C-alpha cells in the first residue's frame, strides 16, 4: 500500500470537526457513543478525522475501507497499542483478543480446529437442554404476570453454554454470581474505555479498587477450575474440550506447556468474548420480535412446523426466517459496535492518507445503518437477510463478526446457539415488553445492550 502514498502537499485534507473541539468531542462521545460515531459519519463522509483529548482518530465509514483494514491490508492494522489497550490487558492478559503478529497466529491456529463447524455442532443438544432448564425455572416464576429481565436471563444462559461447551464445567450453582461479576467488570472496562484520561490502576480511586476486587474474584474462580481440572486429570479422567487442547499445547521455542496464567488469560478471553455478544444478539431479537408481531408469528410458524419436538442442529436449514431475524437484530444492534486498530505504516484509505501509528475505527453499528447500503435503515425487516435478497451486497456493509483473519472465532458457535435458543423459546413462549419500560441501546465493552435491561412478560402459546 505504501506505493500509493502521496507527497504531503498533494494529500487531500481529511474532513472532520476542528482540532479545537478536542474536549467537546470527548464530552459528546461520552454522552452517547453511538450518536457521536453516527453523527461523524453522516456529517463528514467516508473517512473522518477528529481529536478526542490527546488522541487523533480516523473513523472509516466506507465498506471498502473496512475491507482494507480488516482484510486487504490487515497486517498494517494491529490491536496492540489501541486506546484502552492497557485496560483490555488488565482483563484478558495475553489472551487471543489482545495479542498480534506471530504470537496471535500461533495461538489462533492452535484453537481454530475446536471451532470447526462439525465440532461446534456437537454442542447443539446441550444448548437446547440448558434453554429447557431455564424455561422450567420460568414456569415456577409466574412469568406471565411478573416481568423478568430477558437480558439477565439470556446472559446467564449464554454464560452456562460457553463454559459448559468449551471447558466442560458445570457452573449452574454459581451462574448468577459469575454473570453479575462479569457484567460489573465489563461496566468498569467500558467506563475506562470511554475515558482516555481515566487514572491508571495504581491510583487508588474507588473505581480502580472495585475493578481490582472484581477481577481478583473472577480470577479466583478460574484458577480454582484449573486446579480442579488438574486433579481430575490426575485421577485419570479424560477431556476433549478447549481446555484440554490448551493444556496439551507446548511452546514452539521452549517445549513448555501453557502456564496457569496463560490458561487463565485464554479462559477469560473465551468466556467474555462468547457470552456477552451472543446475549445481546438474542436480547435484541426478542425485543424486536415483541415489537413486530407479524415477524414473531412467522418465526413461530417456522419453529412449530418442526413438529411436536425440540429443535436440533439438523433443523437449522429449515429455519431461514428465524436466522434472518437474528441477522437483522445484529444489523440494527450490532453486539460489537466498534472495532479499533492501530496503523503500523502509512496507508491510503478511500483516497485519504492515514499516517503511521494512527488510531483507526470502523463501526459495524454505523455501517449497518448507513442509508447508502441499507434502504430505510431504521426499519426492522428480516426479509433483507433471506437468501434471495442478499445478492450484490458489499460484504463489509454488514460485518457483525468482523472480518479477515481475525474474523470472530465463535461465529458458527454463536449463530447455532442463537438460532437454537430462539427457536426453543419461541416454541413455547410469546415475549411481551413490559408497557412503559424504556429501551435504549447502551455501549458496553461486552456488547451493545439495553441500558435499563429488557423487562418482559412471557406467555405460553
Ligand atoms: C453474536 C455473537 C458474537 C458476535 C457478534 C461476535 C463478534 C466478534 C467480532 C466483531 C470479533 C472481531 C473483533 C476484532 O476484529 O477486533 C470477534 C472476535 C472473537 N470472537 Fe466473537 N462474537 C460473537 C460470539 C462469539 C463466541 C460465541 C465466541 C466463543 C465461543 C467468540 C470468540 C471470539 C474470539 C476468540 C475472537 C478473537 C478472534 C481473534 O482475534 O483471532 N465470539 N467476535
156-170 pLDDT, tens digit per residue, is 999 999 999 999 888
Write the CA distances from 426 to 103, 145, 251, 340, integer angstroms: 43, 18, 46, 36
* pLDDT value of residue 5: 64
Please answer whether residues 101 and 74 qualify as being in contact, where contact means their C-beta atoms are separated by less than 8 angstroms: no
Domains of the chain, each with CATH number or no CATH? 2-460 (1.10.630.10)
Q: Measuring from each residue's beta carbon to the nearest atom of ligand 1, which residues come in under 6 Å?
A: 96-97, 108, 162, 269-270, 273-274, 277-278, 281, 335-336, 339, 400-402, 406, 408-410, 413-414
Ligand 1 atom with minimal separation from the 158 CA: 27
Which helix (DSSP H) or strand (DSSP E) does residue 39 occupy?
A: helix 33-44
Q: What is the residue with the minimal CA distance to atom 3 of ligand 1?
A: 277
Q: What is the residue with the minimal CA distance to atom 9 of ligand 1?
A: 401
Residue 376 DSSP one-character state = S
Regions of the chain where pLDDT drops below 70: 1-5
* pLDDT value of residue 183: 84
Q: Distance from the CA of 364 to the center of ligand 1, in angstroms?
A: 13
* pLDDT value of residue 4: 56
Ligand 1 atom with minimal separation from the 269 CA: 35
* pLDDT value of residue 1: 45
For residue range 408-436, list pLDDT tens digits in order: 999 999 999 999 999 999 999 999 999 99
Please answer whether residues 456 and 317 qualify as being in contact, where contact means their C-beta atoms are separated by less than 8 angstroms: no
Ligand 1 atom with minimal separation from the 403 CA: 15
Ligand 1 atom with minimal separation from the 364 CA: 10
Distance of CA 354 to the CA centre of its chain: 27
Q: Distance from the CA of 409 to the center of ligand 1, in angstroms?
A: 6
Amino acid at each position: 500500500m505504501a506505493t500509493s502514498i502521496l507527497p504531503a502537499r498533494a494529500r487531500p485534507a481529511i474532513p472532520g470537526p476542528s482540532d479545537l473541539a478536542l474536549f467537546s468531542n470527548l464530552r459528546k462521545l461520552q454522552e452517547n457513543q453511538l450518536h457521536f460515531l453516527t453523527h461523524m459519519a453522516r456529517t463528514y463522509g467516508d473517512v473522518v478525522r477528529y481529536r478526542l483529548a490527546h488522541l487523533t482518530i480516523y473513523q472509516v465509514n466506507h465498506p471498502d475501507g473496512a475491507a482494507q483494514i480488516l482484510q486487504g491490508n490487515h497486517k498494517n492494522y494491529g490491536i496492540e497499542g489501541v486506546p484502552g489497550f492497557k485496560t483490555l490487558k488488565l482483563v484478558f492478559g495475553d489472551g487471543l483478543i489482545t495479542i498480534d503478529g506471530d504470537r496471535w497466529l500461533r495461538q489462533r491456529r492452535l484453537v481454530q480446529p475446536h471451532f470447526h463447524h462439525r465440532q461446534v455442532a456437537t454442542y447443539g443438544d446441550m444448548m437446547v437442554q440448558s434453554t429447557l432448564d431455564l424455561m422450567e425455572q420460568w414456569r415456577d416464576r409466574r412469568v406471565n404476570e411478573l416481568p423478568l429481565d430477558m437480558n439477565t436471563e439470556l446472559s446467564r444462559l449464554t454464560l452456562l453454554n460457553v463454559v459448559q461447551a468449551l471447558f466442560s464445567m458445570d457452573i449452574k450453582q454459581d451462574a448468577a454470581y459469575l454473570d453479575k461479576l462479569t457484567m460489573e467488570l465489563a461496566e468498569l472496562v467500558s467506563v475506562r474505555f470511554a475515558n482516555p484520561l481515566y487514572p491508571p490502576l495504581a491510583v487508588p480511586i474507588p473505581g480502580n479498587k472495585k475493578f481490582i476486587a472484581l477481577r481478583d474474584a473472577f480470577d479466583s474462580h478460574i484458577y480454582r477450575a484449573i486446579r480442579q481440572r488438574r486433579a481430575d486429570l490426575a485421577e485419570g479422567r479424560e477431556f476433549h474440550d478447549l481446555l484440554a487442547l490448551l493444556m496439551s499445547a507446548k511452546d514452539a521455542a521452549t517445549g513448555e506447556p501453557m502456564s496457569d496464567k496463560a490458561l487463565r488469560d485464554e479462559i477469560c478471553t473465551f468466556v467474555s468474548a462468547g457470552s456477552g455478544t451472543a446475549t445481546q444478539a438474542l436480547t435484541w431479537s426478542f425485543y424486536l420480535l415483541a415489537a413486530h408481531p407479524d415477524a414473531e408469528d412467522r418465526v413461530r410458524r417456522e419453529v412449530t412446523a418442526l413438529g411436536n419436538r425440540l429443535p436440533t442442529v439438523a433443523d437449522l436449514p429449515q429455519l431461514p426466517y428465524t436466522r434472518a431475524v437474528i441477522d437483522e437484530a445484529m444489523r440494527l444492534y450490532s453486539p460489537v459496535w466498534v472495532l479499533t486498530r492501530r496503523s503500523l505504516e502509512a496507508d491510503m484509505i478511500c483516497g485519504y492518507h492515514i499516517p503511521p501509528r494512527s488510531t483507526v475505527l470502523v463501526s459495524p453499528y454505523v455501517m449497518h445503518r448507513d442509508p447508502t447500503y441499507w434502504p430505510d435503515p431504521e426499519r426492522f425487516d428480516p426479509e433483507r437477510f433471506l437468501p434471495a435478497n442478499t445478492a450484490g451486497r458489499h460484504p463489509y456493509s454488514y460485518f457483525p463478526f468482523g472480518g479477515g483473519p481475525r474474523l470472530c472465532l465463535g461465529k458458527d458457535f454463536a449463530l447455532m446457539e442463537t438460532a437454537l435458543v430462539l427457536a426453543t423459546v419461541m416454541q413455547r413462549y410469546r415475549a411481551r415488553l413490559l408497557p412503559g419500560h424504556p429501551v435504549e441501546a447502551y455501549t458496553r465493552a461486552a456488547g451493545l445492550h439495553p441500558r435499563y435491561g429488557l423487562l418482559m412478560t412471557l406467555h405460553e402459546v
